[in-house]
Amino acid sequence: MKAFLMAAGQGTRLRPITNTIPKCMVPIQGKPLLAWWMDLFEKHGVSDVLINTHYLPESVRKFIDLYNKNPEHHTKMIESYEPILLGSAGTLRKNRDFVVGENSFLICYADNLTNADLTALAAFHKKLNSVLTMGLFHTNNPTGCGIATVDKNNIITEFIEKPEHPKSNLANAGIYVASQSIFNFIPNHNGEIDMGKDVLPLLVGKMAGYEVKEYILDIGTMKNYHKAQEEWKK
């Protein structure tokens, strides 16, 4: 299986740390977040990872170069540089050839620190054969997340970004497995195309929800960044 790793954001909420390094390279327990992601991909047999870049890409390029040269690594990395941000779905559309021949593939957001069972997620997706399977987790802040309502068959019947009156606390974990049919739902227009705003609403009733039982945390704020440092070592 192949994976897209979305890492082009500027990480403005993590400044001043991200004044000199991109968010995916911030250290967690002395190791770049990107390295933790690659450990996870290696563990679950991901063959190739495409990482999109935009802000301060040099350190990511150096990481990719060193990673691919290490004979102990089985997962290969490639970069897709975006001089102008395409949005997460725009990145998928631009790099469709990366997953030609793949029945399904991962889409992950590098903002998160996680040890999610990607193998179980992929098996769940294969069993349901939906357009997309969204990883979900229980949040204490449903008004600040993308919230899904799931029926008894694990199909997402409603998805709302930051709802004023959430019907559940099952939040988008930023980890998906998608089938090739996802490309039929990506709008064909210029400018940024976002998964959350432009694609996921079109998939209501066509995508499944999978509850991630393992650790997951968006490290995109200073509060969560410090929280991750304390919790991850446990």
- With a threshold of 0.75, does the pTM exceed it? yes
Cβ atoms < 10 Å from Cβ of 30: 8
Q: What is the DSSP string of 31-73?
A: EEHHHHHHHHHHHTT--EEEEEE-SSTHHHHHHHHHHHH-TT-
DSSP for residue 155: B
Residue type, 140: N
Question: Rounded mean pLDDT of the chain?
Answer: 92
For 172, the token pair is: 């988008």
Which residue matches tokens 């021949």? Answer: 101
pLDDT score of 129: 86
Rg (CA), the chain: 17
- Return the domain boundaries, the chain: 2-232
pLDDT tens-digit series, residues 104-142: 999 999 999 999 999 999 999 999 989 999 999 998 877
CATH class of 2-232: alpha beta
Burial class (CB in 10 A: 0-12, 13-18, 19+), 67: middle
Query: Does 234 have pLDDT greater than 80?
Result: no
pLDDT tens-digit series, residues 26-71: 999 999 999 999 999 999 999 999 999 999 999 999 999 999 999 9
